Each structure stands twice: as C-alpha cells, then as structure tokens.
Amino acid sequence: MIVDPDHFERAGSAFEHDPAHGGIPPGQVPSGLYSAVHRAAREDLANPQHFLNRELSRLAFNTRVLAQARDPNVPLLERLRFLTISCSNLDEFFEIRVSRLQQQVVYGLAAKSPDDRSASEILDLVAAEAHKLVADQYRVLDDELLPQLEAAGIRLLREAAWTDAQELWLQEYFNSDVLPVLTPIGLDPVHPFPHVQNKNFVLIVSLDGADAFGRRSGIAVVQVPRSLPRVLRLPPGADGYTRDFALLSTVVQAFIGDLFPGMTIVGCAPFRITRDSDLFVAEEETDDLLEALKGELNRRNDGDAVRLEVGEQCTAEMARFLLAQFELTEAELYRVPGPVNLHRLAALIDLADRPDLRWPQMVPRIPAVLAGKAMDGKGGIFRVLRDTPVVLHHPYDSAAPVLEFVRQAATDPEVLAIKMTLYRTGPSSPFVRALIDAARAGKDVTAVVELRARFDEAANIDLATELQVAGANVVYGVVGHKTHAKMTLVVRREGTKLRSFVHLGTGNYHPVTARLYTDISLLTSELSVTTDVHAVFSMLTGLGGVRSLKRLLHSPFTLQSELIARIDAEIDAANAGQPAKIIAKMNALTEPAIIGALYRASLAGVHIELIVRGICCLRPGLAGLSENITVRAMVGRFLEHARCWWFATSGELFCSSADWMERNLHRRVEIAFPIDDAESKRRIRAQCLDGAVADTSCSWLLQGDGSYVRSAAELPAFSLQDALLRGEIA
C-alpha cells in the first residue's frame, strides 16, 4: 500500500498561530470591544467541541438524499433514483474517505480531526452510522418503493413470483447470454481465491460431491462480468403485466446449478467488495504525469478492501471465510436483505418507460439578449458581449449559450486564440470537439486538462491525447494543485485592436450535468476581468511570480485571505452599529480559519445565513458563539452546485468554483468572480441566496449537535426550485 501524506487533511487547524489572540492568526483579530462572555468565547474558537466531524456530516448528507426517496411529493421513479444516488454516494465514501482513515490506522498516524477524534474513533462512528444508513436504504426499497412500483404496474420479481413462461424465457436467456461468459473458479491448491474487482457482483457457492476429476473442495467463486445488464425486462405474463423485471443476480442464482453439473448446491450467496480507489502519483518525481496516471489507473480495481457486502443467504461460516480472504473485520461486514448493489436499480428508471412517474420535462430558457442573431453561429455572441455582460443561472437558463460561445470562437475567422480549463467534460464532449475544430483551423488553442479529476482520470487522459493530436497546446496544470477553476478565454481581432472575452462558471463544462446541477455562468468582455483571467492562465501554463489580480479572487493565493477580510469588514460594521450580514451558498464548509472568522462575526452580531448542501463542520446556534449563524441544506430535483457569497457592507456578490474547504483554498487553483451588473446581482441574489433562505420544502436546518431537521412545518410551503421552474423569481 502506498501512502500519500497529502491525502490526509491537516489535523492542526489554522488557529494555531498566536496564543495571545486566542489562536487567531495575526491580522485577523477584529476591531471593537466584546463583552466578557464573547471575549472568552473568542479565545476558545479552536475548541474541538466547536467543530462537527467531517465524515459524519458527509453521511448525514446521504441520509438527506435518502429522505427524498421517501417523499410522496417526488415522482415515484425519481424516488428510486434518489435511493440509487444515496447508494453510489456511499460507495464513493468508502472508496475514498474510509480508505484514508483505514490507512491512518494501519500506519499509526497520530493526526486528529479538528473535532479532536482519531482515525480509529472516527471509523467506529462511521461504521455505526453507515450500518444504520444501509439498513434504512433496504427498508425504503422493500417497504415503500417496491410495493408502490408494483401498484403502478412495475414489478421487480423474485424467483418465486416467476410464471412458468417467464422462467422458461429466463432459462433460455441464461443459457444463451449469461452462461457462456461465466467462469466458475473452484477453490483448491491449484486455484486459490481469485482476485475480485472493486464493486463487482460475485457469488460464493458451497458444493457437495466430487467433480469430474474427483475434486471435493466444496467452494467455488463466480464473478459476473460488468458487460451483462443487471436489470432484465421480461415478456408479458399471463396476468397482463407488461412491465415485469428481474435482476440478473436473481437469475444467476436461480440457475447456478447449471455451472456445476453432477454436484449439489448447498448454498449460494452474492457478495461485493469495495476497495480503496484513490490514486497516488508522486508528481514531483515523475517526468510525465499522463503516463504515470495511466499506470496508476490499473490499480484502481486492485486497492485494499474496505467493505464487504453479502446477501442475506450468506451463512455465518461463509461470511467469516470471506472476511478472512479480504482481511476485514466484522465491523466492515454489511449483511443486506436484497441486491448487494442497489445502484444498479437505476437502470429500471429508463426501462420502465413511464414518463408520468418522472419529473416533467423542462425547457431551459435562453435570455432575450442572446436570442436570435447571438446564437446564429456567426460571431453574434461576441457582438452582444462587447456591450453587455450576460449572467446565466443553470439549468433554468440554458447552457447552450456557453457551448455556442466556444463553438463560435472555433469558427469565427477573427478569433486568434482560445484558452480553456477542462475538469470534467463527459464522453464525446461538444466542448472538446469545438476546441479540436479550432486547433485544426489554425487557431492557437490551449487546454488546461486536469488529469486528476477523481473518477474522470481515464476520460481526461483520452481527451488530452485527442487534443494533442489535433495540434492544441495541452498542459496539466500545476504540480501539487488541481486546476478546479472553470474558465474560457477567447482573444478576437476587432479592427486594429484585440479584444478578449471570457466565460467563468461555478460548474463543469459538461452537457449532462448542466441540465441537472444548479450553477452560475458569467460571459463578459469587461477588461479588468479578462485581464485577470489572462493572468491566471499565464500562471497555469508558464512560470513566474504570483500575478496581482484586480477583480478575481484566486486560490491558493488570495481567496482565503480576501474572504476573511470581507468577513472582518462585516465585523467592523457590526461593531460600529451598522447593519452587517453575510449570505453564502456552497457545497461544503470545513476550513478551520474560515469557520473561526464566521464565529467571530457571529460574536460581533453579524447575521449569517449559510446554505451548505453537503459537509458542514461549523456548529450553528451555540450560545455565546454562533447564535447568529443559521445553516440550511437543500436537496431537490436539481443538485445545488452553485457557490455564491454576498456581503452586506461592500454589497459584493461573488460566484466561484470553490467551496470553503482546505483543499479548495490551499491545494487547488480556484477563482471567485464578482457579479457587477446591478440587475444580474439582484437576480442571482434573489434566485440563489434569498430564495434558498426562504425555501421550506427542500431545505433542512442544521442543529448544533450535527443533526438536521426539516424546515418548520407551520411555515407556508415554498420550493425555490419549483418557483424557478415556473419562472416566478425573475
């Protein structure tokens, strides 16, 4: 096992600087006077009791996702989707977060989390919460979703419910499409326990009798290839049902005897192993990051086992045998009363072909300023942006103008250069295709491809290679820092001068997630912004000192300090008796120095509204510390992905690719960009911030103990996402 020290979050916090200031870094102590109780609280800001645990907060997010699977206001098949999302999220949690904690325990690393827990203590807490979450997932499936799906005419049949005709059809399907690709491995001295790939569906079979060679090992392992569909649509039954389905796992178990002729099946149980899937590349020691990552990708399915899931058919003896094979403990065993991979049920959503049980189709809007000639593919979008910036709120506003911006840049003869960051683009990306066309047309194309975007490494290696073949300049960012900023720079000749245009966004250049995630885009030619973007690209691709930026905030250099400066400005305003308020929306809040600054602001009387979708380590509502802070989380039809922050004293509204996390502020290249146009600022604040604070349908309120409760039932129901879909918040 290779251990990367950078994998582990800093155990020490950013407060450990100056004891005279209660651990607050010099220059960050607010002006003004505090009451004695507030001064005492300020001096104890780094108290571990003031921090929620990051891993438990992540599991709490999955619990909120699972709650959507129980919500009767959500269409039935979408409820099934939320169940599968909660399962895939949990998989990734084990692959990345739990595996890191286990490494810390194995190698005796003494680092503690900001809430003063060791890795071993966190693992114990995680195991208890994860077992509870898994039990809830199967309870939701068996007690709620499957009965309601059957009532709607969609049946997922167990073997006992098959008709004779269905069983015959499935037997023929097994013989023709499944049996030929299965390879049973009988365990004996010549055939040791086989390598089991990460998250693959596997059966362990207990046998009685001797085979053709007289062997009596009694145990075989059967891995089912990923190429086989996990959900099968059955022919109509005699009772008229036309939407009967069976799981491949059920089918294989039903006919497993055909793999072992002449032997008796004593027991058969499915199991699944989750492995450490984090990648490690010593960037400072490699000459070619792309080639190094290619080699490391082969290890993703071979990492150490971190979790064993077994079906309810698995005997205690079989379970102990499997635990021994994978060197796991009882705490890492998850016995489930159903399929060992609920995420595979997502296939049923499309196979059912029931649009009445899904979200109504939406048609994203294109702002009037971009309608018509701006979208004609002939450079019209640049004529619009020359005179006015455009702010888009996806998915309510279409992402088509962003793609059109890049496509027109690729074909416009007046465009000389295009520079773009690529983090996640998806397969066959139209953005990448436009860049290839531009490079082949002789334009200077630079793509900053983040090869280390987790679980997109292979796809990004492919697109980087394709861009290089087309003649584009491809760079991989900065050693030790992921390039997470979303930005495109277009340089265009206009008469005798050059003018630059940029797109800045909070989300990826990915056409699928653009329809599912809420994000903000800015398209502009404002000189101070385009100059800053050019400077950031120069730092990414070239060498030299830190460039001074006029409008953008830039991590790992100025973003954290500028955020704290703006929080301090609100503290100064509150101490002067002026209105002081912060509203901030993000995916996660974990960075200790930022949390400390927010606590100081609360002590000074600053009113703080935080909308944090996922992990939050700040404890709101603690007397004498954070009673002026409210934290809510939103879970709805769309993934709340936009990061935007408003500060009352300066009136500034920033949007960003960055969360308030250690990795975003210290180990990534991120930008935050201002929304200056008064009307756009009003609209984004109403649609992203004030609307989120007012939401009572999709929001959960974080309590000081780390639990979440639904918004007060006595309040009038208001769903921000529904209101935006109806166009009610302009």
pLDDT confidence bin for 601, thresholds 50/70/90: very high
Please give the full DSSP string across 597-633, using - where no structure is assigned: HHHHHHHHT-EEEEEESS-B-B-TT-TTTTTTEEEEE
Instruction: Using the predicted structure, report yes or no on whether residue 423 has a pLDDT greater than 50.
Output: yes
Phi-psi category of residue 615: left, alpha or beta, with phi > 0 → left and psi -120 to 50 → alpha: beta
Instruction: Using the predicted structure, report yes or no on whether residue 322 has a pLDDT greater than 60.
Output: yes
Residue 453: per-residue pLDDT: 58
Lowest mean pLDDT among 23-32, 501-510, 591-600, 704-713: 23-32
Q: Same structural domain for residues 510 and 565?
A: no
Rounded mean pLDDT, 305-318: 94
Rounded mean pLDDT, 504-529: 94
Best mean pLDDT range from 319-333, 421-435, 457-471, 710-724: 319-333
Q: Which residue intervals of 576-702 are DSSP H helices?
A: 592-604, 662-666, 678-684, 691-694
Of 505, 524, 549, the one marking the end of a domain is 549
Say if residues 625 and 600 touch (Cβ distance below 8 Å): no
Q: Which is more confident, 19 or 78?
A: 78
506 inside domain: yes
Please give the full DSSP string across 77-115, using - where no structure is assigned: HHHHHHHHHHHHHHHHIIIIIIHHHHHHHHTT-----TT
Q: Same structural domain for residues 385 and 283?
A: no
Q: Same structural domain for residues 536 and 409?
A: yes
Question: How many structural domains comprise the chain?
Answer: 3
Instruction: Using the predicted structure, report yes or no on whether residue 595 has a pLDDT greater than 70.
Output: yes
Residue 430: per-residue pLDDT: 93
Residue 22: per-residue pLDDT: 31
Residue type, 246: A
The tally of CA atoms less than 13 A away on the side-chain side of residue 289 is 21
Q: Same structural domain for residues 677 and 608?
A: yes
3-state SS assignment for residue 551: coil
The DSSP code for 178 is I
Tally Cβ neighbours within 10 Å of residue 20.
10
Residue 406: per-residue pLDDT: 96
Instruction: Using the predicted structure, report yes or no on whether residue 232 has a pLDDT greater than 80.
Output: yes
What is the Cα Rg of the chain in Å? 28
Q: Same structural domain for residues 416 and 463?
A: yes
565 inside domain: yes
| Residue 484 annotated in active site | yes
**pLDDT tens sequence across 29-72:** 333 333 433 444 445 677 888 999 999 999 999 999 999 999 99
Tally Cβ neighbours within 10 Å of residue 575.
17
Q: Same structural domain for residues 537 and 559?
A: no
Rounded mean pLDDT, 501-505: 98
Instruction: Using the predicted structure, report yes or no on whether residue 284 has a pLDDT greater than 50.
Output: no
Residue 190: per-residue pLDDT: 64
114 inside domain: no
Burial of 414 (C-beta count, 10 Å sphere; 0-12/13-18/19+): middle
Domain ranges, residue 626: 554-725
Instruction: Using the predicted structure, report yes or no on whether residue 26 has a pLDDT greater than 50.
Output: no
Rounded mean pLDDT, 5-13: 32
**pLDDT tens sequence across 97-156:** 999 899 888 888 778 888 999 999 999 999 999 999 999 999 999 999 999 999 999 999
Instruction: Using the predicted structure, report yes or no on whether residue 459 has a pLDDT greater than 80.
Output: no
Residue 589: per-residue pLDDT: 97
Rounded mean pLDDT, 501-526: 94
Instruction: Using the predicted structure, report yes or no on whether residue 599 has a pLDDT greater than 80.
Output: yes
Residue 480: per-residue pLDDT: 81
Rounded mean pLDDT, 476-495: 90
**pLDDT tens sequence across 549-590:** 999 999 999 999 999 999 999 999 999 999 999 999 999 999
**pLDDT tens sequence across 674-686:** 999 999 999 999 9
Instruction: Using the predicted structure, report yes or no on whether residue 188 has a pLDDT greater than 90.
Output: no
264 inside domain: yes
Q: Same structural domain for residues 190 and 333?
A: yes
Residue 239: per-residue pLDDT: 63
Q: Same structural domain for residues 571 and 691?
A: yes
Residue 359: per-residue pLDDT: 96
Residue 287: per-residue pLDDT: 44
How far, in Å, are 77, 83, 280, 693 from residue 70 at the CA level? 11, 9, 39, 23
Q: Same structural domain for residues 253 and 400?
A: no
Cα 98 to chain center, whole Å?
16
479 inside domain: yes
Q: Which is more confident, 20 or 79?
A: 79
Instruction: Using the predicted structure, report yes or no on whether residue 27 has a pLDDT greater than 50.
Output: no
pLDDT confidence bin for 4, thresholds 50/70/90: very low
Look up the CATH number of the domain holding residue 586.
3.30.870.10
pLDDT confidence bin for 214, thresholds 50/70/90: low
124 inside domain: no
Catalytic annotation, pick one of 343, 393, 484, 554: 484
79 inside domain: no
Q: Same structural domain for residues 311 and 380?
A: no
In the predicted model, what is the mean pLDDT of the chain? 87
Of 503, 521, 549, the one marking the end of a domain is 549
